[in-house]
Amino acid sequence: MDNDIFSKLLQKRASGQTLSPDEEAVLMEAYDRLLKEELAAADEDPSLGPDEQRGVDIRQRIDQRIAVRRTKYFRVRNMRRVAAALLAGLTLSAGLYWFRAGTKVNNHRLTEQEEVLPGENKARLTLADGSVITLSDTQNGVIATEGGVRIEKDAEGNIRYNVGKKQEVIPSAVNTITTPNGGQYRVTLPDGSVAMLNAASSLSYPVRFSDKERRVKMTGEVYFEIEKMRLPGEKGNVPFFVETAGQEVQVLGTHFNINAYGDEAAVRTTLVEGSVKIRSAGGESALLKPGQQAVLAQQLTVQQADIQQQLAWVNGDFVFRGETLESILRQVERWYDITVEYPPHIGQLRFNGMVSRSQPLSAIVKMIQSTRKATVTVKKRRLIVTD
């Protein structure tokens, strides 16, 4: 296929234009061809790692060949949306390769009624006066004003705070953004820092930070990119604090992820860039370096992090590496807003693989069943796993 035609079709989809059936067919055929070429090359490439890593490597190669840059979710460009749209429309031929069971896939099919779509950008914003705004139902533009701060919804559907020069807002004026199961959201805080909330999460913050410190509180899972903010008339930066149940994280300017869901066994803080200091409620502390993860359970420990796995949700994926089905299903339950049922012994089965979060629930069903370790049934919004 002519590369110029392929590029034009990608750009057309990225701009939000609808492709004709013929154009869709051309685009899918080209992507499938790339996929087959990379799968064939992978079989002869000894440099690729274990099965799940091979799948990740193959996907990255394809993205590079179609000029898709897999940047962080917070720096989304049109081409990133193209990649998600392409993957959402593909079969799981690549996904099944990643699981590499070497067996036939169970031909379980979901009826149209049973199909469950993935989560999307949706959240509720609670203002300082207690009023609540459903962000998915709100038009772009200024959605509220509190003192000298304008709260805006931009063209991408994200929330940002436009702080004026007026000092009318008192430090106690706090906003809270909350995502439900099946939701995620991006917010630019008053200091320019960016936070991305995963499903079933919340973030509370003042509408204007003080000059001495910046402090927020969170539940669930949030990825942060913190802007440096100079102390007035002094050397150094205004410290940024993130409070969760059982710990406090102090940062100056860095990128990190905190997973603090109440139904998880530990609070995990993963550092991508910069430096953070962890303090537990029990008095323990640790200073993280990039690539490290603090795990707070019965005590605070530090270990090397699998950054790709921990930040997979930020890049629009599920990545599982030796993960228990119990852990996988908790993530699935939150993202697809469903209930799950399974006997305890099945919950301890371990899986490897990668699935795009833009895929419907049937992708997860096929992933599990392709291994022949378990059988999955979907009834409306219930996912039932049995032997």
Which of 4-13, 49-58, 157-166, 375-384 is predicted most confidently?
A: 375-384
Residue-wise pLDDT for 58-97, tens only, equals: 555 555 454 333 333 443 333 343 344 334 333 333 333 3
Q: Is 384 in contact with 361 (CB distance < 8 Å)?
A: no
Give the pLDDT confidence of 283-338 residue by residue, as tens digits: 999 999 999 999 999 899 999 999 989 999 998 889 888 899 999 999 999 999 99
Residue 28 has pLDDT above 80, yes or no: no
- Distance, in Å, from the CA atom of 5 to the CA atom of 50, rounded to the nearest integer, reads 35
* Amino acid (one-letter) located at 384: I
Contacts with 380 (C-beta within 8 Å, 6 or more apart), sequence order? 113, 114
pLDDT for residue 35: 58
What pLDDT sits at residue 71?
34
Question: How would residue 171 be classed by pLDDT, with cut points 50, 70 and 90?
Answer: low
Q: What is the pLDDT of residue 212?
A: 87
Q: How confident is the model at residue 159 (pLDDT cuts 50, 70, 90)?
A: very high
Asked whether the predicted pLDDT for residue 178 surpasses 80, the reply is: yes
Q: What is the 3-state secondary structure (H, E, C) of 31-42?
A: HHHHHHHHHHHH
**CA-CA distances (angstroms) from residue 233 to 23, 211, 212?**
59, 11, 12
Quick one: tokens of 98?
């990643």
Across 156-160, 269-273, 366-370, the highest mean pLDDT is recorded for 269-273
Lowest mean pLDDT among 4-8, 38-42, 81-85, 183-187: 81-85
Nearest CA among 300, 302, 299, 236 for reference residue 271: 302
b vs e for 250-262, b when ≥16 Cβ sit within 10 Å of the residue's Cβ? Answer: bbbbbbbbbbbbe
Picking from 374, 313, 322, the residue whose alpha carbon sits closest to that of residue 344 is 374
Choose among 202, 180, 205, 203: nearest CA to 122.
180
- What's the chain's average pLDDT? 79
- Interval 206-260: pLDDT, tens: 998 988 899 999 999 999 999 988 887 777 789 999 999 999 999 977 999 999 9
In this structure, which topology does domain 120-310 adopt according to CATH? Jelly Rolls (2.60.120)
3-class secondary structure, 321: strand
- Domain ranges for the chain: 120-310, 316-386
Residue 177 reports pLDDT greater than 90: yes
- C-alpha distance from residue 58 to each of 33, 49, 195 (Å): 13, 11, 29
Q: How far apart are CA 328 and CA 319, in angstroms?
A: 10
Band the pLDDT of 15: cuts 50, 70, 90.
very low
CATH number for the domain formed by residue range(s) 316-386: 3.55.50.30
3-state secondary structure of 383: strand
Give the pLDDT band (50/70/90) at residue 156: confident
Whole-number pLDDT of residue 93? 33
CA distances from 7 to 14, 70, 72 (A): 10, 17, 22
pLDDT above 80: residue 182: yes
- One-letter amino acid for residue 12 of the chain: K
How far apart are the C-alpha atoms of 172 and 385, rounded to whole Å? 47
